[in-house]
């Protein structure tokens, strides 16, 4: 049996690796036009800032693929004949398959702004975008980033490292307002400001102004004009599925899949940024456009391709990122306007914790500036632990580096102030922590 995988990102490559682990006889082919070898997309910013080289971002040695008999083809697929089970590549070659995995990733979301085709306008998704950015930053003194979120922060840090003046425009009344509650959004705005990056809220892009085919500024919907030589688009991503539209494959925004990651076409599956759940898993969204979700989908999909009838069940939703030097972790789907929640913020440092609850039972949490132990946080939400229990055993949750200040007492005092409940702080228990890992 021949399995062809389109896309060599984390979802596609994880699928290939686990297919080989499960079956030594399969013929496996990975096709990607972006790069010959799999690399870490989250590491693109570190290449730009000079902290890493491209070869450092490759998770496996170049000989890994031949040793594991995973064939690689660098090409763009322009269309698929699902009836004949054939891929038509831009280089004129035709590839047949028995089973097909679509892991085509995503692309920068744009909204038909006038001037978006100008030189100096771009997003940041893959390797080609990084190469383009290296060209576009030449001679640039000022850049405007449209949209916040994680890509916007990455771009801000990257450009700031080159001495470029950076301003971020967000349409909400705070940074990443579609995800973060007001206090956290303002905390990150202050942090960005401390690093020399301005955030202008309640502002939307109307058009990009050009001269001689190049960017010279932007105009907002309020009529304000801002001079700049570079416009970076960070308004989110869209599934990379345009070449599949008009086929028999069912697509809305992304490729529609069921709980097994199967499409409506027999022997065709989808995973990663390009797919969209017909029915979202409880506690999660229709899209899961995150690195670790792609990894989990790939591992699961390898079993599905080989005949498993087990539904994809990733567990508690999770995300992690970094805002310059402030780390961020989230567990469960936290509302951006939480009604029932406990919030603590350090009076001086960029550190905070929020726990959303239902009837005093933990349903979601996130933290800035402190590291949380994944298995403990995941287990507390799955087991619906009470807030009192969570704060009593807070030392089990945190694994900040040695000599970092312990905030458990300050957090417990704030909990007493908000809820009138005295919390007895328990000592860290490695037995409880190891039990969380075991479960």
Q: What is the pLDDT of residues 351-391, one digit of tens each?
A: 999 999 999 999 999 999 999 999 999 999 999 999 999 99
Q: What is the mean pLDDT of residues 121-137?
A: 97
When the pLDDT of each residue in the chain is averaged and rounded to a whole number, the result is 96
pLDDT (average), residues 319-331: 96
Compute φ and ψ for 168, nearest 5 degrees.
-110, 130
pLDDT at 258: 97
- Strand 237-239 relative to strand 86-89: parallel, antiparallel, unpaired? unpaired
Contact 179, 187 (CB under 8 A): no
Residue extents of the structural domains in the chain: 2-107+238-305, 121-235, 318-438
Does the pLDDT value for residue 414 go beyond 80? Answer: yes
Confidence band for 292, pLDDT divided at 50, 70 and 90: very high
pLDDT at res. 282: 85
User: Distance between CA 206 and CA 198 in Å, rounded?
Assistant: 19
pLDDT of residue 436: 86
- pLDDT classification of 148: cutoffs 50, 70, 90: confident
The pTM (predicted TM-score) of the whole model is 0.94
Selected from 3.40.50.620, 3.50.50.60, 3.30.200.20, 3.40.50.150, the CATH number assigned to the domain covering 121-235 reads 3.50.50.60
Q: State the average pLDDT over residues 43-69.
A: 96
Question: 2-107+238-305 and 121-235: same fold?
Answer: yes
Q: Look at residue 238 and tell me whether its pLDDT is greater than 80.
A: yes
Instruction: From residue 17, give the alpha-carbon distance in Å to each of 20, 149, 187, 409.
Output: 5, 31, 41, 46
Predicted confidence (pLDDT) at residue 403 exceeds the cutoff of 80: no
Burial of 417 (0-12, 13-18, 19+ CB in 10 A): exposed
Residues 6+ apart with CB under 8 A from 250: 256, 263, 264
Q: 2-107+238-305, superfamily in CATH?
A: FAD/NAD(P)-binding domain (3.50.50.60)
Quote the tokens at residue 349.
Answer: 């440092």
pLDDT for the residue 86: 98
Q: Which residues have CB under 8 Å from 5's CB, separation 6+?
A: 12, 15, 16, 28, 29, 30, 31, 100, 101, 103
- Sign of the C-alpha dihedral, residues 420, 425, 429, 431? negative
Q: What pLDDT score was predicted for residue 321? A: 94
Report d(CA 417, CA 286) in Å as an integer. 38
Is residue 69 over pLDDT 90? yes
Cα–Cα distance, 258 to 278 (Å, whole number) = 6
* CA distance linking residue 3 with residue 10, whole number of Å: 17
* pLDDT reading at 439 higher than 80: no
Per-residue pLDDT at 337 = 80
Mean pLDDT in residue range 274-303: 94
- Give the pLDDT confidence score for residue 300 in this predicted structure: 97
Q: Categorize the per-residue pLDDT at 306 as very low, low, confident or very high, splitting at 50, 70 and 90.
A: very high
Q: What is the β-pairing status of strands 2-6 and 99-102?
A: parallel
Q: What is the pLDDT of residue 335?
A: 86
How far apart, in whole angstroms, are the C-alpha atoms of residue 376 and residue 334? 17
Distance between CA atoms of 327 and 15, rounded to whole angstroms?
Answer: 29
Q: Mapping DSSP to helix (H, G, I), strand (E, B) and coil, where does residue 226 land?
A: strand
Phi, psi of 353 (to 5 degrees): -140, 135
Neighbours of 113 (CB within 10 A): 19
Give phi and psi for 192, each to the nearest 5: -65, -40
CATH number of 318-438: 3.30.390.30
Q: What is the pLDDT of residue 113?
A: 97
pLDDT at 104 over 80: yes
State the pLDDT at residue 401.
84
Q: Average pLDDT in the 264-290 region? A: 94
Structure tokens at 178: 């579609």
Could you tell me the maximum CA-CA distance found in the chain, to the nearest angstrom?
Answer: 71
């Amino acid at each position: 049996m021949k399995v062809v995988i389109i896309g060599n990102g984390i979802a596609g490559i994880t699928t290939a690796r686990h297919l080989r682990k499960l079956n030594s006889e399969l013929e496996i082919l990975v096709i990607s036009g972006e790069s010959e070898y799999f690399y870490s997309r989250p590491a693109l910013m570190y290449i730009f800032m000079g902290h890493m080289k491209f070869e450092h971002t490759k998770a496996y040695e170049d000989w890994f693929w031949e040793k594991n008999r995973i064939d690689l083809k660098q090409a763009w697929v322009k269309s698929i004949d699902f009836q004949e089970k054939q891929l038509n590549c831009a280089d004129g070659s035709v590839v047949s398959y028995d089973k097909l995995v679509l892991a085509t990733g995503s692309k920068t979301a744009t909204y038909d702004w006038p001037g978006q085709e100008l030189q100096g306008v771009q997003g940041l998704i893959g390797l080609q975008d990084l190469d383009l950015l290296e060209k576009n930053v030449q001679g640039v003194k000022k850049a405007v980033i449209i949209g916040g979120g994680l890509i916007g922060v990455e771009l801000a840090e990257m450009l700031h490292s080159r001495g470029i003046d950076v301003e971020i425009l967000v349409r909400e009344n705070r940074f990443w307002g579609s995800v973060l509650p007001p206090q956290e959004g303002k905390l990150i705005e202050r942090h960005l400001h401390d690093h020399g990056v301005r955030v202008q809220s309640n502002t939307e892009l109307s058009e990009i102004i050009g001269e001689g085919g190049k960017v010279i500024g932007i105009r907002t919907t309020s009529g304000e004009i801002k001079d700049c030589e570079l416009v970076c688009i960070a308004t989110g991503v869209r599934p990379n599925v345009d070449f599949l539209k008009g086929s028999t494959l069912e697509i809305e925004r992304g490729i529609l899949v069921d709980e097994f990651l199967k499409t409506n076409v027999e022997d065709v599956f989808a995973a990663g940024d390009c797919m969209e759940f017909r029915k979202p898993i409880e506690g999660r969204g229709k899209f899961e456009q995150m690195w670790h979700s792609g990894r989990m989908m790939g591992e699961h999909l390898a079993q599905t391709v080989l005949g498993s009838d087990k539904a994809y069940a990733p567990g508690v939703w999770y995300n992690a990122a970094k805002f310059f030097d402030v780390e961020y972790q989230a567990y469960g789907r936290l509302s951006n306007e939480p009604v029932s929640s406990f919030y603590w913020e350090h009076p001086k440092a960029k550190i905070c914790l929020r726990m959303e609850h239902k009837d005093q039972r933990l349903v979601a949490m996130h933290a800035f500036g402190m590291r949380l132990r994944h298995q403990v946080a995941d287990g507390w939400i799955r087991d619906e632990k009470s807030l009192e229990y969570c704060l009593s055993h807070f030392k089990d949750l945190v694994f900040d580096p040695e000599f970092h200040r312990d905030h458990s007492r300050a957090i417990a005092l704030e909990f007493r102030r908000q809820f009138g409940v005295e919390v007895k702080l328990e000592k860290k228990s490695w037995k409880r922590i190891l039990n969380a890992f075991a479960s």
